[in-house]
Amino acid sequence: MAQYFSLHPDNPQQRLIKQACAILHAGGVAAIPTDSSYALACHLDDKAAAERLRRIRQVDAKHHLTLLCSDLSELGNYAVVDNRQFRLLRAATPGPYTFILEATREVPRRLSHPSRKTIGVRVPDHAVTRALLVELGQPLLATTLILPGEVDPLNEAEEIRSRLEKQVDLVLDAGPCPREPTTVIDLSGAAPEVLRQGRGDITSLGLAQPD
C-alpha cells in the first residue's frame, strides 16, 4: 500500500521530504511532481527499484530513463559536457527540458542507452522535486508517469494513488502539474537536435523546431 504525503508546492515540509528520502533509500518507487508532469522516480543506485519502475511503465532497456539533478554541478559525474553544451544547459536550466548527452564510463550500463551510450538528464524547476534531490544529495532516476496504453501522463495525486497504490511505495501530492512533457534536446551529436517539442521553449535557446 502506497504512502501518501501532501506537500506544499512552493515550500514543502522538510520532515515529509526526509521521510520520502528514507523510503527512496530503502528501495521505494515514488510518484513525484515535476515542472512538466508527474513522474515515477527511484534511487539511482537501486537496480531492483529501476526494474520495478520499468515494469510499471512497461518499457524495455532501450527506453531512456532520465537523471533528475538538483543543479548542473552534478552532471560531470554522469555525462560528458563540453563548453558549447554547457552554455546551452545553463541557459535552459532549471526548467522543463531533457538533454541527451554522452554518458561517462562511470555510468552503469543499465542507466545508459544500450546501443548509443547516452543518458538523459534534466534539472527540474519544482520546489518539491528539488528539495528531494538536495536532501538525497544525488540524482534520482525517473520517467514520465504515463501508464501502458495511455498517451497522457497522470496528473492528479489521488488518481495516481488509486491506480498505483499496490505498485508504488509513495505518492507525493503537491497539486496538479502542467501535464505537458519536457522538450527533449539531443546534444550527443555534432549539433543540437530537438527530438520532441514539449513545454520548454526552444526559440529562447536559438534552436529550430523539429521536422
Domain 3-205: which CATH class? alpha beta
CB–CB of 180/14 below 8 Å?
A: no
pLDDT, tens digit, 9 for 90 and up, residues 12-54 = 999 999 999 999 999 999 999 999 999 999 998 898 999 999 9
Q: Which residues of the chain have pLDDT under 70?
A: 108-110, 112-116, 210-211
Average pLDDT, the chain: 91
CA distance 108 to 105: 8
Q: Which residue reads 495525486 in cell numbers?
A: 157
CB–CB of 25/41 below 8 Å?
A: no
Would you state the cell numbers that stand for residue 117, as one nine-digit string?
A: 551510450
Would you state the cell numbers that stand for residue 169, as one nine-digit string?
A: 511505495
Beta strands, E only, the chain: 3-6, 29-32, 39-43, 66-68, 79-80, 97-103, 118-122, 140-144, 170-173, 183-186, 193-196
Rounding to the nearest 10 degrees, give the CA dihedral for residues 30, 20, 72, 124: 50
pTM of the entire predicted model:
0.92
Give the start-to-end residue ranges of the domains of the chain. 3-205
CA distance 41 to 33: 10
